[in-house]
A and B are shown apart, each in its own frame.
Chain A
Amino acid sequence: MNFKLGLLIATVGVLFTLTGCMGHHMGGMSGMDGMSTADHSKHMKMMNQKGYDRSIARYQIPDLSLTDQNGERVSLKELLQTDKPVIVNFIYATCTTICPLLSMGYIDLQRELGAKSDDVLLVSITIDPEHDTPEVLNAYRKRYRGKSDWVLLTGGRLDIDMALTAFDAYIGDKMDHQPLNFIRLPKQDMWVRLNGMVNGKDFIHELQLAGFPPSRE
């Protein structure tokens, strides 16, 4: 029963996403141009309820060598090929607006998961690699009291740009930063792309929509 229900939720969730977010994935108000009034009001309702925009996309993760907050080299591709659900976002340490939101979302999720915070791998990639050395990122995580399964990555400017591009999140400048989170479940190749403010409960809701935790028979 539980399994069927979970499947139903997942299916509805995917359908909902595919239909609901087709036109305006690219962001801005432009996506609203083609919408009817009814669509618009429905959309408004959705936006008001959730505070974020959701879409599904396939991303090709490049084989990049980045450095984590402990100064260890990490292959991005291998890191993301984990048997846990993984969430990726882009931050920088001296950010005063969006990154505190993103990082607070992460620690809120870790708090919601409690003892099970290890169940989800959180990854933050800096978009200010020249300033954000491993030491800076380590201090950043400590400041937020993030737990162990939050990995922060830095690297060469080109590699960071490739990572941004891979997630269709490239921005010319860190000051044009978007509040994006990307969720993927193990062994899947589709990512849930969340644009907006996401707290711990939202993350859990989204993970459930995607099928996590897997229902037990």
Chain B
Amino acid sequence: MKLFLSLLFLATFVLPFNLYAAKVDDLSPQQIRQLGERMYREGVLPNGEPIQAFAAGDIPVEGTSFTCISCHLRSGLGAIEGTVISPPATGKILYEERTTSIKGNEYVPSYHSYAVNLPPRPAYTDETLAKMIASGVDPNGRSTMAIMPRFQIDDENMAILIAYLKTLSAELSVGATKEMLHFATVIVDGTDPAEIESMVLPLQFSVDRKNSLATASKNNDRIARMAYNMLGPDLLAKRFSLERWVLKGPSSTWRAQLEAYYKANPVFALLGGISHGDWAPVHRFCEDKQLPDIFPQVDYPVLDESSWQTIYLSRGIRQEGEAAARYLAGMSELFKDRPVIQVSRNSRRGSALKAGFNASWAQKHKTPVLDISLPAGVALNVKQLSKIIKTQNPAAVVVWDDASALPALQKIAQTEGWKGLLLTSGTWLGDKIWTLPADMRKKLYLTWPYRLPHENARFNISLKRILSGRSLDDFNFEVISKSYITNEVLGKALKDMRGEYYRDFFLDSIDMLPDTYFPLYERLSFGQGQRFASKGCFIVQLGKGENPQLERRSEWVTR
């Protein structure tokens, strides 16, 4: 029976394979790239059908759910977590023999997992690789893990996929050369110069530091040894460049400006960036060029599930609105069926908060939110709102407006007979948050998307190292912190990349970073395809006294 099965297997998968070469030769490299990439990333065959696959032996799954990238990542260089390895799947590595680094290592049993030590194997050939993808049997005759689905791909398509794997992470990406890594940061003209300085300083600091280290290690063996230990053989000698790409005029003209900048200097990646308004043209540009952008500081990130290239620090202004809704939803039982009133300024910021609140609220609740819109330039009408509060008896009143609304909020908080929760955006109040009158501090709840300021002190120590003696007060604290984080993440990712400078691997390496504790944010977390590193918000109140602190009224509330 077994013999019969093996023969059947040979007949099905291996024998016809000798005929495969015909079709793929007719395709251009671009077609192979396009068709192969679709199979590799999306699990879709050139004819548009999903690849059929079997997991754990014979559980039918669709290749669109279990794509190659779900384990081997976009770069094909695989992943390591704890003691388990997804081995690389690039042609460059598969077509080389794998030997053990320490002789005899292959006989040491892996303690917690199968793959602490990848077993040696001969180099793959087109035939053995096709066999492995179709049947899960490697050139040693070993079965690969049950988790690796067995993909049903006919010979022609298999040849395309294999041709694609051979191109995957085979050549360094644009912007990376033997000597240099080129970066740029995008600045929207008209941004506060102090904020621009705070954004650029950390980036420039580390570029300069890196370049002087490269020079010094050329001239001094001791420094070279230190740099080798810190950065490895490749990164130690690498030089960085950082260009500032300033975008002027209306955002509709940015695309052409970006194209021109990129043509003159096709950088490896964008670092940071700053805009309080539009960002979508930059986001789209990065998607189209497959150009990574790490942590642009923007109020309105593009929330598109299918985008890949830009990693944002958070979901922006909107995230406060989302968290507010989650927080209130969690207390719904206390409130019974009382409504929620939402007053929002008719501006981009107000609308983002409102949209976030409504989207998050709708996930949990059928009861509608009573929306009141404040047109630009019109102050909050206290009388009107108090009247509504008296008739509706809302469980909560949420107000999305700047600090000019504070006097009105103070009066609303004192509405006679009303026992409900008053909530607004902490960040929109700016510095006025610290001067809330005593009687409001107990009444007013605030969204706060960062670590509480008084808990930041020990993290600020690391921040101060890059200021070259200047005071932290000279800078915009939030902006410089965010840029510092960009730097740190860049450094960690580059070290993990060990000289393999592919843009996909750059993003993969960031995705595989552990959760980190930096200045400003309580916790940044990563994961494959996770594109918003900070995912929540605190609900806080201002404490008592002349030097009040923010006090937590919630756990870290997430979407």
Contact = CB atoms under 8 A, between A and B. Distances in A.
Contacts of A104: 55-56, 146-147
A96 interface: yes
A97 B84 CA distance: 6
B238 interface: no
A28 B111 contact: yes
A128 B85 contact: no
B112 A130 contact: no
Interface string B69-110: 011010000011111111000000000000000000000011
B556 A100 contact: no
A108 B59 CA distance: 8
Q: Give the residue among A96, A133, A199 with the most B Cβ atoms within 10 A.
A: A96
Interface in B24-69: 55-59, 61, 65-66
A196 B81 contact: no
B56 A47 contact: no
A38 interface: no
A51 B114 contact: yes
B537 to A, nearest CB: 11
Nearest to A24: B111
Given A101-B145, A131-B530, A111 B109 contact: no
B536 interface: yes
B113 A108 contact: no
A173 B57 contact: no
Given A101-B147, A156-B555, A179-B113, A96 B86 contact: yes
B82 A133 contact: no
B558 interface: yes
Contacts of B514: 172-176
A93 B79 CA distance: 15
B171 interface: no
Given A101-B147, A157-B556, A96 B112 contact: no
B147 A92 contact: no
B153 to A, nearest CB: 20
B114 A97 contact: no
A195 B110 CA distance: 12
B525 A128 contact: yes
A149 B305 CA distance: 29
Contact of A131 (B56, B65, B535): B535
Given A96-B71, A145-B61, A196 B112 contact: yes
A174 B84 CA distance: 13
A71 interface: yes
A113 interface: no
A68 interface: no
Given A53-B111, A111-B59, A174-B515, A96 B528 contact: yes
A177 B82 contact: yes
Contacts of A96: 70-71, 73, 79, 81, 86, 512, 528
A144 B556 CA distance: 30
Given A108-B59, A143-B65, A94 B530 contact: yes
B112 A108 contact: no
A107 interface: yes
A178 B556 contact: no
Contacts, number: 130
A176 B82 contact: yes
B529 interface: yes
A101 B529 CA distance: 19
A188 interface: no
A200 interface: yes
A95 B515 contact: no
A44 interface: yes
A115 interface: no
A29 interface: yes
B515 A107 contact: no
Contacts of A174: 514-515, 525, 527
B503 interface: no
Interface string A95-128: 1111011001001100100000000000000001
A27 interface: yes
A19 interface: no
Given A53-B111, A131-B530, A98 B84 contact: yes
B283 interface: no
A104 B148 CA distance: 10
B364 interface: yes
A126 to B, nearest CB: 11
Contact of A130 (B80, B145, B558): B558
B210 interface: no
A48 interface: yes
B559 interface: yes
Given A130-B525, A145-B59, A97 B85 contact: yes
A85 interface: no
Nearest to A180: B112
A129 interface: yes
A197 interface: yes
Interface in B301-319: none
Nearest to B524: A130
A177 B81 contact: yes
Contacts of B81: 95-98, 175-177
A21 B480 CA distance: 52
Interface in A26-73: 27-29, 43-44, 47-48, 51-53, 71
Given A96-B528, A128-B525, A135-B363, 20 more contacts: A29-B111, A53-B112, A71-B364, A95-B528, A96-B79, A97-B85, A98-B81, A100-B70, A104-B147, A107-B56, A108-B57, A130-B525, A130-B536, A133-B559, A173-B514, A175-B512, A178-B83, A179-B84, A197-B113, A197-B114
Interface of A: 27-29, 43-44, 47-48, 51-53, 71, 92-98, 100-101, 104, 107-108, 111, 128-131, 133, 135, 143-145, 156-158, 172-179, 195-197, 199-200
The 9 closest A-B pairs by CB, nearest first: A94-B527, A173-B514, A97-B81, A130-B535, A108-B56, A47-B109, A97-B84, A175-B514, A96-B79
Interface of B: 55-59, 61, 65-66, 70-71, 73, 79-86, 109-114, 145-147, 363-364, 511-515, 523, 525, 527-530, 535-536, 555-556, 558-559
6 contacts: A51-B113, A94-B511, A97-B85, A100-B71, A104-B55, A157-B523
